[in-house]
Amino acid sequence: MEFLQNTWYFAAWGADIEPGKLFARTLLGKPLVFFRPSGGAVVALDDRCAHRAAPLSMGRLDGDRVVCGYHGLEFDGSGACVRNPHPSGRIPAAARVRSYPVVERHTGLWIWLGDEAADPALIPDFSKLDDTGPSVTRRDHMVMDAAYDLIVDNLLDCSHTSFLHEGILGNQPMIAAPTEVRQSGRTLNVIRTARNVPPPGMFDMLFRQDGAPVDCWTDFRWDPPSCLLLDVGVTPPGRPKEEGTGYFGTHILTPETERTTHYQFAATRWNIRAGSETEEMRQKISDLRRFAFEEQDEPMIRAQQRIIDLTPPHELKRVLLETDAGVVHWRRIIDEMIAAERRPSERLAVGA
């Protein structure tokens, strides 16, 4: 799948970039190096020295400059070469590496890799992550061996929780929930509510720990290209959400390569029952979520990827179910945005 370029991608958690250290990560097949200048905003550069293509991330930081570890050229945060240590000291005009706009927001780093102007107003709202206290669980990261679009499909069709995560995040009675899609601009919400069902294991743990029936909702917000915020929770049957509990789940995907994807996730709890949520319990919730992604979703999606790769394209017809409403919508939007990038004269107004 082709990647959308003119958009904000989540590059890393802000805390990943430690003062004085270089941080390497490949996004959309492009090797990048990140660092945090003293008192300044995080910098992202092509991880490729202008001299001989060595990765700058194998060098070192000297103050606010990256020193290439191979032959010592020095670059500042704009990507300009500011020192040639060799006798002439001459700096060739072409000695620069590309730098990319980075915005640190909602405890994450957002990078713009495209050629168009980057507008920070387009960064999706993940203010649920702003709270740096204990209500946000571990800010997690894993690399999945699958194309990012298969993971978005996974998330926007929550009916899979009743099968793949049965007992933990879903169960058979929840299948009855209808799937509703709302679109606003380029933002989608895919909403399911299962009424008067036994609580899935993790939610029983978070709520009343008595197995009594609940209403359980999932409301997945998607923003291009692959930034998802889940509003999920349980409440006593027929009662308003406020009488229950739940969390906002951050699920942000960034392609590493065509076949591998950075998966960033965290959960922001609300209505925690007094005294019920110890540090140990928060750890357990994080572990359970990571288990579901790593031991259930990832093997399935990786296997799905393998099957797709082995199948001749003309045999790859897939039928649509009513639960695919969200999948159909996000693919339509992203396909249009990618097509518009290819035809610059007909560019859609960004943010339209």
Binding site for its own copies (CB under 8 A): 26, 29-31, 47-48, 50-55, 58-59, 67-73, 84-88, 90, 92, 94-95, 153, 157, 159-160, 162-164, 175-178, 299-300, 303-304, 306-308, 310-311, 316-323
Which residues are within 8 A (CB) of 128 and not within 5 positions of it... i.e. 6 or more apart? 106, 136, 229, 248, 250, 268
Q: Give whichever of 154 and 268 is closer to its own copies, judged by the CB atom.
A: 154
Please, what is the minimum distance in Å from the beta carbon of residue 152 to its own copies? 12
Task: Give min distance, CB of 53 to its own copies, in A.
Answer: 5
Residue closer to its own copies, measured from CB, 164 or 288: 164
Task: Determine if residue 268 is left, alpha or beta; phi over 0 gives left, psi from -120 to 50 gives alpha, anything else beta.
Answer: beta
**Measured from the CB of residue 172, what is the shortest distance to its own copies in angstroms?**
8
Q: What is the C-alpha separation between 42 and 102, in angstroms, rounded?
A: 7
Give me the least distance between CB of 315 and its own copies, in Å please: 8
Nearest residue (CB) to its own copies, 168 versus 285: 168
Shortest CB 49 distance to its own copies, Å: 8
- Closer residue to its own copies, CB minimum distance, 231 or 256: 256
Instruction: Work out how close the CB of 189 gets to its own copies at its nearest, in angstroms, rounded to a whole number.
Output: 19
Q: Which is nearer to its own copies, 105 or 160 (CB)?
A: 160
Q: How far is the CB of 135 from its own copies (least distance, A)?
A: 32
Specify the residue, 55 or 249, whose C-beta has the smaller distance to its own copies.
55
Q: Least distance in Å: CB of 301 to its own copies?
A: 8
User: What distance in Å separates the CA atoms of residue 75 and residue 153, rounded to the nearest whole number?
Assistant: 40
Nearest partner of 66 among 89, 48, 90, judged by Cα: 48
Nearer to its own copies, 230 or 267 (CB): 230
Smallest distance from the beta carbon of 181 to its own copies, in angstroms?
Answer: 15
**HEC sequence for the chain:** CCCCCCCEEEEEEHHHCCCCCCEEEEECCEEEEEECCCCCCCEEEECCCCCCCCCHHHCEEECCEEECCCCCCEECCCCEEEECCCCCCCCCCCCECCEECEEEECCEEEEECCCCCCCHHHCCCCHHHCCCCCCECCCEEEEECCCHHHHHHHHHCHHHHHHHCECCCECHHHHHCCEEEEEECCEEEEEEEEEEECCCHHHHHHCCCCCCCEEEEEEEEEECCCEEEEEEEEECCCCCHHHCEEEEEEEEEEEEECCEEEEEEEEEEECCCCCCCCHHHHHHHHHHHHHHHHHHHHHHHHHHHHHHHHCCHHHCCCCCCHHHHHHHHHHHHHHHHHHHHHCHHHCCCCCC
Q: Which is nearer to its own copies, 30 or 262 (CB)?
A: 30
Residue 41 or 53: the one with the smaller Cβ distance to its own copies is 53
Inter-axis angle of helices 148-156 and 325-342, nearest 10: 140
